[in-house]
Structure 1
Amino acid sequence: MAQPPRKAFPLRLDPALFDALERSAAGDLRSINAQVEVLLREALSRRGLKVAPPRPVKRGRPARDAGSE
């Protein structure tokens, strides 16, 4: 099943903020984009706003079809 499309938009950041995000993402072994999403979800949660959790990405081989043997 394909992932739903993600919303893309340009984001202008202060260079110092971007550097801090980059260090934080590297420390958590995430991309900067993933780190921004995590931080936004945490901030919204602290404000009491519910956001549906992201759908997990299916990894690995597809299940073996029993009829193809």
Structure 2
Amino acid sequence: MATEKKAFVLRISPEMLKELEQWAQEEFRSTNGQIEYVLSDALKKRRKSLRQTPNRNQEAET
């Protein structure tokens, strides 16, 4: 079964949109697909970073 995706409005500058559209075209993706790819990659990197520093929150509290 396919995962249902939530639709929402995203406001970005025209310059950023143009750059994302160009990047998407270079990688043979739709603009939406490129944004999803970039966000997914950023979340993967964040999760990896959080796993490598499990005591980060505890250090900030002391």
TM-score, normalised via structure 1 length? 0.63
1:12-45 deviations in Å (ceiling 9; x for gaps): 1111100010000000000000000100011111
* Identity score, percent: 40
SS in 2 for 1:29: coil
Partner of 1:47: 46
Q: Distance in 1 between matches of 2:28 and 2:42?
A: 20
Q: Is there any run of 5+ residues in structure 1 with no aligned partner, and where?
A: 50-69
Q: Is there any run of 5+ residues in structure 2 with no aligned partner, and where?
A: 49-62
Larger radius of gyration: 1
Letter in 2 for 1:4: T
More helix by share: 2
TM-score, normalised via structure 2 length? 0.69
Alpha-carbon shift at residue 5 of structure 1 (Å): 2.2
Alpha-carbon shift at residue 47 of structure 1 (Å): 1.1
- Following TM superposition, the consecutive aligned residue runs of length 4 or more in structure 1 with deviations greater than 6 angstroms are none
Q: Is 1:12 matched with 2:11?
A: yes
Letter in 2 for 1:22: E
Alpha-carbon shift at residue 4 of structure 1 (Å): 3.2
Aligned residue-pair number: 48
